[in-house]
Amino acid sequence: MKFTRILSIFAIIFMAGSLIAQAGSNDDKDHSKRRSVKVMVITMFNIGGSSGPFGETHFWIEREGLTEAITVPGLSSNFPQVFCKPPAKDNRDKEKNSSDVCVITTDIGYANAASSIMALTLSDLFDFRQTYFLIAGIAGVDPADGTLGSAAWSRYSVDFGLAHEIDAREMEAGWPYGYTGFGPVAPGVKPTRIIGTEVYQLNEALLQKAFALSQNVTLADNADSQAYRALYPNPPANQPPKVTICDSMAVDTYWHGALLSKRANDWAALLTDGKSNYCMTDEEDNATLTALKRAANAGLLDFNRIALLRTASNFDQPHPGQTPFQSLNTRSGGFVPSTTNAYLVGSALVHDIVSHWKAWQKGVPADAPLTVNPK
């Protein structure tokens, strides 16, 4: 009886081991069928569809030759396909399941960004285990940190939501605005309840490398932007655009005005103990990063391989003599330079990764890190 039980135990162990080995084998087999990607560019919108005439996506498709359209179940119906560079014909056997660069358009807002990225990473079409991700889109800029066409690599991405709100007409006397963090706290007091998606800090080595590769890129500009930025009395708002490092603030609401900009600066500093300098406001980044983080936790990608770039299409507040509503509805001329510069600056990083893949394949190259934190 005892001997029989021992045999039974060994049989169970053998079967369990076989199942685990088979699962691992199937996992490897599944990955062998998936398309590996060196860089996945994440954009948020394009006018006229993914390959339409202008927006955040079209420069990547046109200038990188991303002509292979791959339908991914679960993407936005407005942008149902990922566009990739086809494998080189002269190296077909070796590269048949790989692409240097692909681009996805998530669609605008938190719901679209998170849903599209989760659909992408959970599909069985791609192997992202060595992929670098570049989030590249336009934004509003704080005139204290940049100007129309400026490009900012982010160290932090901060969620501007996840807060309590009281209408400013009913807020407590002495409050600067009607927003507080979660918990029984007043403005200026750090939230006592943390959800976990409020702040993402990106890989410093990749941030510094991206800045070093792109800081001298010649940025696009135009006469309309030059004329509009001249209405702002102080630099850098009235200066030509440049590449810099400062941080992203994400929320679904397209907000505007000097008072909300003050709150954005205060909120970013509060949540990061003074380490973050808000400069770019957008509608997707923390949602995109949350989806990527979940995928990284599942072993599908490396969160240290994510870079975040935002370029300024508009100011987040009016110039002197202008109301916030007038500023919100004006045409500053910044749209075309910002979409162009998102490509020009972002592609400096992308091209280096692709051209020197052996150096990048196992992680960000271990060059001596720069100590730059420009404002």
Whose tokens are 């339908």? That residue is 71
| Count of CB atoms situated within 10 Å of the CB of 99 | 23
- 289 within 8 A of 134, measured Cβ to Cβ: no
CA-wise closest residue to 267 among 178, 152, 153, 148: 178
- Give how far the C-alpha of residue 210 lies from the chain's centroid of Cα atoms, to the nearest Å: 14
> What are the backbone dihedrals phi and psi of residue 197, each rounded to the nearest 5 degrees, phi first?
-115, 10
Over residues 318-328, the mean pLDDT reads: 97
Q: Is 150 left (phi over 0), alpha (psi -120 to 50) or beta?
A: beta
Q: Which pLDDT tens digit goes with each residue over 347-357? A: 999 999 999 99
Pairing relationship of beta strands 278-282 and 132-141 according to DSSP bridges: antiparallel
Number of other residues whose CB lies within 10 A of the CB of residue 54: 14
55 forms beta bridges with 46
HSE value, Cβ hemisphere, 13 Å, CA-based, for 309: 37
In this prediction, residue 79 carries a pLDDT of 96
Residue 323 to residue 256: CA distance in whole angstroms: 10
Give the pLDDT confidence of 272-304 residue by residue, as tens digits: 999 999 999 999 999 999 999 999 999 999 999
119: tokens are 């659909």
**What is the rounded CA–CA span in Å between residue 346 and residue 36?**
20
**Beta-sheet strands, E only, within the chain:** 35-43, 46-47, 54-55, 68-71, 81-84, 98-105, 126-127, 132-141, 151-153, 156-159, 164-165, 179-180, 199-201, 243-245, 247-250, 278-282, 306-315
Whole-angstrom Cα distance, residue 77 to residue 190? 39
pLDDT at 21: 40
pLDDT reading at 2 higher than 50:
no
List the Cα angle 164/168/172 in 5-degree steps. 80
pLDDT in tens, 147-178: 999 999 999 999 999 999 999 999 999 999 99
Token pair belonging to 256? 């505007």
Q: At what angle do helices 285-297 and 110-122 cross, to 10 degrees?
A: 30
Q: What DSSP string runs through 11-55?
A: HHHHHHHHHHHHHHHHHHHHHHHSEEEEEEEEE--EETSTTSSEE
What is the pLDDT at residue 98?
73
d(CA 211, CA 172): 43
Pick from 56-60, 83-87, 242-246, 353-357: least confident: 83-87
Q: For residue 196, what are the CA distances in angstroms to 118, 179, 193, 272? A: 18, 19, 9, 13
> What is d(CA 43, CA 55) in angstroms, rounded to the nearest whole number?
9
**pLDDT, mean of residues 212-233:** 98
- Its pTM surpasses 0.85: yes
Angle value at C-alpha 126, between 38 and 132, nearest 5 degrees: 30
Domains of the chain as residue ranges with CATH: 36-162+197-360 (3.40.50.1580), 167-196 (no CATH)
CA separation, residue 40 to residues 60, 96, 227, 237, 291 (Å): 11, 17, 36, 32, 14
